[in-house]
Amino acid sequence: MSDMLRDIIARNKAGECIAIPSVCSAHPEVLSASLQLASSLNRPLVIEATSNQVNQFGGYTGMDARAFVAFIDDLKSKYGIAPNMVELGGDHLGPQVWKSETADRAMAKAHDLVSDYVRAGIKKIHLDCSEGCAGEPPMLDDVTAAERAALLAVSCLNAAPLPKDLIFVIGTEVPAPGGARLGEDGHIIPTSPEAAVKTLMTHRAAFTEKGIADSWPQVSGLVVQPGVEFGPDHVFTMANGTDTGLRDAISEYPEICLEAHSTDFQPPETFVKLANMGFAFQKVGPALTFALRRALYALDHIVQELNPSAVTLPQVMEAAMRSNPEHWRSHYSEDDMSKWHCSYADRIRYYWPLPAVKEAVQSLISTFDELKVPEHILAKSFSSDVLERSEGLTASRGHAIVRSEVQGALLPYFLGDRGD
């Protein structure tokens, strides 16, 4: 594990209100925006890819793990970012992408997946085997999930150039079918301390059973549900006065901190609460691509107002989603067009890598840059903070505004640097 992550975990465990944001996205604009923001604040950052974004078959980004690492290295070099300020990770690595296949076939691919990640130099590995494969229950029991996670850990340790540098994260916040559980007050029910300890004990036993007990201290993160979530059209905020008791529950594990997923769209004070509750890792992804889409659509509206064209960016996106419905049809109805474009679930993010979409975005930004749009028109669509922050970014005007909008969504995660 890097000294940077070790230091943050130790300080959080000691009671300091500190956490590190983990950007879970593979979009070039989101990553550029995130790296530039972290660099400007001189703050560390974790960047993670999911198994459906990046895998040995290319994922929906077209990248395998080695290509993803090379891509991030190029961005770090471009923006002059010190290597020790960025840690790379893999999120929810397991058989999920192939869960329609038998467990044996899906797990074989999962072993190749995690091996590729660690060979490429990715060190923070979230092992998640909680979901069942073909013929199995949708959610597996703790023992089976832990056993499969331990087997993947063995593959990681065998494949890694420097096994001792790996950091493992276990557990999941993925809700059972039907959605996360709600309390009578309408808030998400957090993971109980008892369930968190059971996850730790079950995984520790599995590590021992698979002959890697010596590597248990490399387990440094536990994913649990802190009481935050979002759906296509609603954000579930943390209940007032929430004290999950999870920090105390894992106090006997000095090397392990908590990791929060689905923190997107929460009010800024939530990230402070999470840090004080022991969540040293705070994941964000869809909120950043949501901001990306919002900025691009705003640019498109401005361009259409000043220089109308036959096809708008929303029309291009809609055509792409109609042609490839597999990423949204289980989340939205076909006639609910508003969710297609601006749902919190942000299923539109799967379509940005498509060649026709990339071409449309580049054409939009080029046209916007050529128009030299006056400030008073920009002010109709973008806040003064976004426009002011964009002035300091090394990019064309269009790219800078888009990245600044993304940075506005990420900034609250850098505790103490919200600009307020």
Is residue 277 domain-shared with residue 203, that is, in the same domain? yes
Which of residues 284, 314, 331 is at a domain's end?
A: 284
Is residue 342 domain-shared with residue 238, that is, in the same domain? no
Is residue 255 domain-shared with residue 343, that is, in the same domain? no
In a domain, 418, yes or no: no
CATH number of the CATH domain containing 249? 3.20.20.70
Range of the domain at 395: 289-413
In a domain, 330, yes or no: yes
Total domains in the chain come to 2
Is residue 244 domain-shared with residue 294, that is, in the same domain? no
Looking at this protein, which amino acid is placed at residue 226?
A: P
In a domain, 205, yes or no: yes
Is residue 214 domain-shared with residue 89, that is, in the same domain? yes
Segment 233-269, tens digit of pLDDT: 899 998 877 677 999 999 999 999 999 999 999 999 9
In a domain, 255, yes or no: yes
Is residue 24 domain-shared with residue 39, that is, in the same domain? yes
Is residue 149 domain-shared with residue 297, that is, in the same domain? no
Three-class SS of the chain:
CCHHHHHHHHHHHCCCCCCEEEEECCCHHHHHHHHHHHHHHCCCEEEEEECCCECCCCCCCCECHHHHHHHHHHHHHHCCCCHHHEEEEEEEECCHHHCCCCHHHHHHHHHHHHHHHHHCCCCEEEECCCECCCCCCCECCHHHHHHHHHHHHHHHHHHCCCHHHCEEEEECCCCCCCCCCECCCCCECCCCHHHHHHHHHHHHHHHHHCCCHHHHHHEEEEEECCCCEECCCCEECCCCCCCCCHHHHCCCCCCCEEEECCCCCCCHHHHHHHHHCCEEEEEECHHHHHHHHHHHHHHHHHHHHHCCCCCCHHHHHHHHHHHCHHHCCCCCCCCCHHHHHHCCCCHHHHHCCCHHHHHHHHHHHHHHHHHCCCHHHHCCCCCHHHHHHHCCCCCCHHHHHHHHHHHHHHHHHCCCCCCC
Are the C-beta atoms of 120 and 68 separated by less than 8 Å?
yes
192 CB contacts (<8 Å, ≥6 apart)? none
Is residue 163 domain-shared with residue 138, that is, in the same domain? yes
Phi, psi of 127 (to 5 degrees): -95, 115
In a domain, 254, yes or no: yes
In a domain, 419, yes or no: no
Is residue 271 domain-shared with residue 353, that is, in the same domain? no
pTM of this structure: 0.94
Is residue 39 domain-shared with residue 92, that is, in the same domain? yes
Is residue 43 domain-shared with residue 189, that is, in the same domain? yes
Is residue 39 domain-shared with residue 169, that is, in the same domain? yes
pLDDT for the residue 178: 42
Which of residues 284, 300, 327 is at a domain's end?
A: 284
Alpha carbon separation from 192 to 141, 198, 236 (Å, rounded): 16, 10, 18
pLDDT for the residue 57: 98
Enter the tokens of residue 105: 């076939």
Which of residues 264, 284, 304 is at a domain's end?
A: 284
Give me the residues of the chain with pLDDT under 50, please.
176-179, 419-420
Which candidate, 240, 149, 256, places its Cα nearest to that of 186? 240
CATH number of the CATH domain containing 397? 1.10.400.20
In a domain, 420, yes or no: no
